[in-house]
Amino acid sequence: MNKSNYITLANKAANLQIKELKKIKKVLNKSFIQAVDLILNCKGKVICAGIGKSGLIARKISATFSSVGIPSFFCDPAQALHGDMGQIEKKDLLIIFSYSGNTSELTNMLKYANRFRIKIIGVASKPNSLLLKASDIKLLLPKVKESDVTGMVPTSSTSITLLLGDCLATTVLSKKKFSKEKFKIFHPGGNIGNSLLLAKDIMIIGNKLPLIDYKKNLSTALKIMNQKKLGIVIVLKNKYIAGLVTDGDLRREVKILSKKMNLQKFMTKKPLVVNENMPASKALAIMNEKKITSLLVVSDRDFKKNSKIKLKGIIHIHSLLQHGVK
């Protein structure tokens, strides 16, 4: 087979799926609105179910709901026959995915839900299917062309089912006014969690801060700098930031320095400060741009002031790297 033809075949499949996915708009109707309202008003758990490829879609949508603070789990209809049905309570909501809607394994789950009056959102492509007949809200998927050479392998059909699930989830999040701050609570780890870190989340505070009174001399500053090992000392006057001295400042002035010299003669009087709610990734970008290793962190209120600014902490390049901030 001509390998140069691989890209052509892949593009053909991709273009077909993109075309078919546009049919999703047919599902964004009154029933979709009712489904969103049902999820928003659910007093229990949002339980997603499906068999085969539809089961994989259901797992993903359930994981999306869970990661944004909506209690959810996946329930395998086949396993539910052997005791897992006990996890489903009357106040819960079932979202069941099945492209054909006639998967035999769904029968007992549907009977159980109907018996205990558990609300069902059914997602299928056949209006007279077993699933949609038993559902309170019927989301009818459009017929789509599969993108493989036989036109039979679930490709476009799984993609559009996943897209509908994501549309449900993102619409619910918008109505709940979900924010990055809330997302960070439910997703503290990994690259996503790291990208949501703020300056205040990783700043150095308390006894680890290299602080010195403005009346002290260079000898004391050197001692503190060596103890704290951050390469800087922060000069305070009446508890407010007065200036900053770095090891670089000392190296540049080494020929004229005296250990009894007052710090005010060579400190940076208006050091760069950042807001405590600045994203840590932005703080790293500032460090790279300015070619520095530390930033002073102040409160929202003090960040807007020109004088009498109190220190809240320090962000050091090492802290950023340890937390995986990029």
Which domains does the chain possess? 3-178 (3.40.50.10490), 199-322 (3.10.580.10)
Exposure b/e, 272-292, CB count within 10 A at least 16 = b: ebbbbebbbeebbeebeeeeb
Region 108-136: mean pLDDT is 94
Percentage of the chain exceeding pLDDT 90 = 45
Q: pLDDT higher for 225 or 94?
A: 94
Region 208-232: mean pLDDT is 87
The pLDDT of residue 192 is 53
Is the pLDDT at 21 greater than 80, yes or no?
A: yes
Q: Is the pTM of this model over 0.75?
A: no
Q: pLDDT higher for 1 or 286?
A: 286
The pLDDT of residue 194 is 57
Region 155-167: mean pLDDT is 95
Q: How many angstroms separate the first and last alpha carbons of the chain? A: 43
**CA 66/CA 184 separation, integer angstroms:** 13
Inter-residue contact 71 to 88 (CB < 8 Å): no
Question: CB-hemisphere CA count at 13 Å for 310?
Answer: 7
pLDDT band at 260 (very low <50, low <70, confident <90, very high): low
Inter-residue contact 312 to 273 (CB < 8 Å): no
Enumerate residues 6+ apart whose C-beta is below 8 A from 172.
Answer: 36, 39, 40, 65, 70
Q: What's the mean pLDDT when you consider all of the chain?
A: 86
The pLDDT of residue 121 is 97
Enumerate residues 6+ apart whose C-beta is below 8 A from 240.
Answer: 307, 308, 309, 310
Region 256-276: mean pLDDT is 76
Give the model confidence (pLDDT) of 79-119 as tens digits: 877 667 778 899 999 999 999 999 888 998 999 999 889 99
pLDDT band at 136 (very low <50, low <70, confident <90, very high): very high
The pLDDT of residue 42 is 94
pLDDT band at 252 (very low <50, low <70, confident <90, very high): low
